[in-house]
Amino acid sequence: MSKRFRTTAAAIVVALIALQILGSGGFPESWNIGLSEPINSWQSWIRTNRDQHWLFTFILNPITWVIELGLNFTESFIGWLPWFIPPIVVFAIIARRKRWVLASFAAFAVVYPGLVGVWQESIETISLMAVSVGICVLLGVPIGVWTALNKRAESVLRPVLDAMQTVPATVYLIPIVLLFGIGKVPAAIATVVYALPPMIRLTALGVQQVPRAAIEAGQMFGATKRQILSRIQLPLAVPSIVAGINQTVMMALGIVVIATLVGAGGLGQEINQTVRQLSPGRGLVVSLAVVAVAFVLDRVSMALISEPGTNVRKLSRNAVIGIVGGVVLATIVGRIAGWNHFPVSYGTSFADPIDTAVNWFRDTFSFITRPFNDFIVRDVLIRAQKLLNNSFSWQMIVVAAMALSYFVAGWKMAITTAAGILIIGLTGRWTDSVDTLTQTIVAVILSIVIALPIGVWLGRRPRAEAALSPLLDSLQTIPPLIYAIPFVMIFTVGPVPGVVAAVVYAIPPGIRLTSLGIRQVNKESIEAATTFGATDRQVLWGVRIPLAMPSIILAVNQMVMMVLAMAIIAGMVGGGGLGYRSIEALTGPNKGLGAEVGVAIVIMATILDRLTQATAKRLQAPAAI
């Protein structure tokens, strides 16, 4: 530890003590700049001029009409088809690759929503997702190609894409609702904004990673830039583009529940109703329908695009005509026979045992759950909120956060952190931000305690990781609101169900990234330590974990982002804080409140994201020379 570092640390400690003694408690309410007032005035102006101003007449309204036309056509067409046609088509598309078991499972996934009584709702969700993902592909591929070929465009778009992926989806909904109103159209636009970044990034990555030798070969044969792009770069970038479509589908389905707050309907609306009914069994059954939709869209999108080098069975022209003719004939017969509605529904009665099991768990283990709930609320959250709102001066909090940012990421990050915290105070969201921050910290700590040991254990056991992979995939695909329902029944309404649900939602990426870091430690380092007589425990703590630390810190980063993304879910089950204010803004007339909440969430997410990324860089092992 250098003398300069000790001097700087001592000066900061003295400054913190002085600010605590001389400063005041919570952020002064009189400093509120009233950000909501101009937003609410703008909202009134929009309502008055929606039918006559050129912004709506020539730009926003045509966009609304086009998207609404696409949604209505897709939903009507799928609803018009006889119920057995979609599973047949899905089976045929996937079976084209000779994957008969996968094709059969995908066909069953199409039928599953009908069996549990949510056939029409699944059609609405599929239509919304299909249109949204289609728009993402139409926009994302050209923009991705442009950024890959233009470094200046890439440098401009990179921070925009970073912000789009950092900001929680609820923040998008507030301005979109202001401009486009309530309904399926704003839900589709919010889904596009939320799911577009991975499509752009992975398309650009695929084009950039095309071997230089392939491009030079095309140039030698006199190919133009357009020919090189269309015949060399794009075909070789197909695997990355397919991965982008996959990620877009997953992210689009990730906000299917939140989109119902602005009138999206579909399966998300059914899931919202399970919260009011406090029925975890029904919630699980309906959420599995969402998983089925995700699985079908993912597999069909991958089967429709042939990656270079893959063996895809090419059907003859007569076979294609025969298959298409058979599907058309089956459609005509089904329409004439009136088989367009799903014939049978078992409902969700078979999920009743799940409700019974949750009730049994609540009653049997109440001697554990109630003290845990009281401890988290009374001894952790409330005390932490009192410290940050009343005991500690806001001046000291700003300087302490600034000092931490300085030691982790330097002066630029320190100034950014201080400015961000001051802006949160000036918008009047200080108390709500403290509530959300304390819940986030508790959830992240619990996630770290659970995810990191499991990730370290799995990183040394590939078979165990492969066995747990489907469970981790399901945990990331199921809508996060589903996690909160049983915890509301177990812990009652309040912040604890949101915290525990956030932990369950956040641990899969934490486990995966930690396991990846442990698994990718180079064998030479392990062999060297073993040669010198190190035990397995010494190799783990002295070699594996230190070398995997950047990946572990990135796992913590992802868990922080996932927990923050759950803020609105916590607000829906009584968690308070910024999540509750988001719901209040979306469902009420005060959209200015939504702007204040959005600013606070963006600042908090950005600061936490940059600090954890900077920590990962500091812990990065030096590159070998």
User: Are 196 and 246 in the same domain?
Assistant: yes
Evaluate if residue 420 carries a pLDDT over 90. Answer: yes
Residue among 280, 323, 264 nearest 501 (CA):
280
Q: Both 348 and 453 in a single domain?
A: no
Query: Taking the model in full, what pTM does it have?
Result: 0.76
Residue where one domain finishes, among candidates 354, 382, 404: 354
CA 311 to each of CA 234, 307, 319: distance values in angstroms, whole numbers, following the listed order = 19, 9, 18
pLDDT in tens, 59-72: 888 888 999 999 99
One domain for residues 212 and 237? yes
With a cut of 80, say whether residue 253 has pLDDT above it: no
The whole-number pLDDT of residue 466 equals 80
Residue 259 vs residue 69, higher pLDDT: 69
Secondary structure (DSSP) of 479-500: -THHHHHHHHHHH-SSHHHHHH
Q: Is residue 421 part of a domain?
A: no
Which DSSP letter does residue 392 get? S
Q: Is residue 497 part of a domain?
A: yes
Q: Output the pLDDT for position 5.
A: 65
Q: pLDDT for 297-344, tens place per residue?
A: 777 877 766 554 455 556 667 777 777 888 888 888 888 887 877 887
Domain hosting 86: range is 41-354
Number of domains composing the chain: 2
> How much is the pLDDT for 166?
62
Percent of the chain with pLDDT over 70: 92
What is the per-residue pLDDT across 519-535, written as a single tens digit (0 to 9) for each?
A: 888 788 888 888 888 88
Bigger pLDDT: 8 or 427?
A: 427
337-353 confidence digits (pLDDT tens): 878 778 877 766 667 78
| In contact, 333 and 101? CB cutoff 8 Å | no
Residue that wins the pLDDT comparison between 601 and 8: 601
Task: Give pLDDT, residue 73.
Answer: 92
570 pLDDT higher than 90: no
Q: Is residue 10 part of a domain?
A: no
What is the model's pLDDT at position 625?
A: 39
The verdict on 321 and 438 lying in the same domain is: no
Look at residue 624 and tell me whether its pLDDT is greater than 50. no
What mean pLDDT value characterizes the chain? 82
> What pLDDT, on the 0 to 100 scale, is given for residue 281?
77
pLDDT of 541 higher than 50: yes
Is there a single domain that holds both residue 376 and residue 300? no
Whether 174 has a pLDDT exceeding 80, the answer reads no
**How confident is the model over 440-487, as pLDDT tens digits?**
999 999 999 999 999 999 988 888 888 887 778 777 666 677 777 788
pLDDT at 457: 92
151 and 185 part of one domain: yes
Q: 384 with 517, same domain?
A: yes
pLDDT tens digits along 351-388 = 778 878 888 888 888 888 889 989 998 889 999 888 88
3-state secondary structure of 404: helix
Composition of the chain by helix, strand, coil, percent to 5: 80, 0, 20
Contact 510, 559 (CB under 8 A): yes
Instruction: Assess whether pLDDT exceeds 50 at residue 623.
Output: no
pLDDT score at 358:
81
Average the pLDDT over 147-165 and give the result: 80
For residue 275, the one-letter residue type is: V
Residue 61 covered by a domain? yes
User: How many other C-beta atoms are found inside a 10 Å radius of the C-beta of residue 553?
Assistant: 22
Contacts of 368 (CB under 8 A, 6+ apart): none
Say if 591 falls within a structural domain.
Answer: yes
Asked if the structure places residue 415 within a domain, the reply is: no
Residues 93 and 151 in one domain: yes
pLDDT band (50, 70, 90) for residue 589: confident
Are residues 387 and 305 both part of a single domain?
A: no
Same-domain status, 266 and 184: yes
The verdict on 378 and 275 lying in the same domain is no
Whether residue 124 lies inside any domain: the answer is yes
- Regarding whether 382 and 329 lie in a shared domain, the answer is no
CATH of the domain at 127: 1.10.3720.10
**For the range 577-584, what are the long-range contacts, defined as Cβ-Cβ under 8 Å and sequence gap of 24 or more?**
577/432, 577/433, 577/435, 577/436, 577/439, 577/495, 578/429, 578/432, 578/433, 578/435, 578/436, 578/604, 579/170, 579/436, 579/498, 580/432, 581/429, 581/432, 582/170, 582/171, 582/174, 583/261
Per-residue pLDDT tens for 4-33?
A: 667 777 777 787 788 777 777 678 888 888
Q: Among the listed ranges 116-130, 264-278, 498-512, 541-555, which one has the minimum average pLDDT value? A: 264-278
Return the structure tokens found at 55. Answer: 């912004």
- Give the pLDDT of residue 424: 93
Query: For residue 440, with 0-12 CB atoms within 10 Å meaning exposed, 13-18 middle and 19 or more buried, which class applies?
Result: buried
Asked, for residue 1, whether it belongs to a domain, the answer is no
Output the pLDDT for position 517.
85
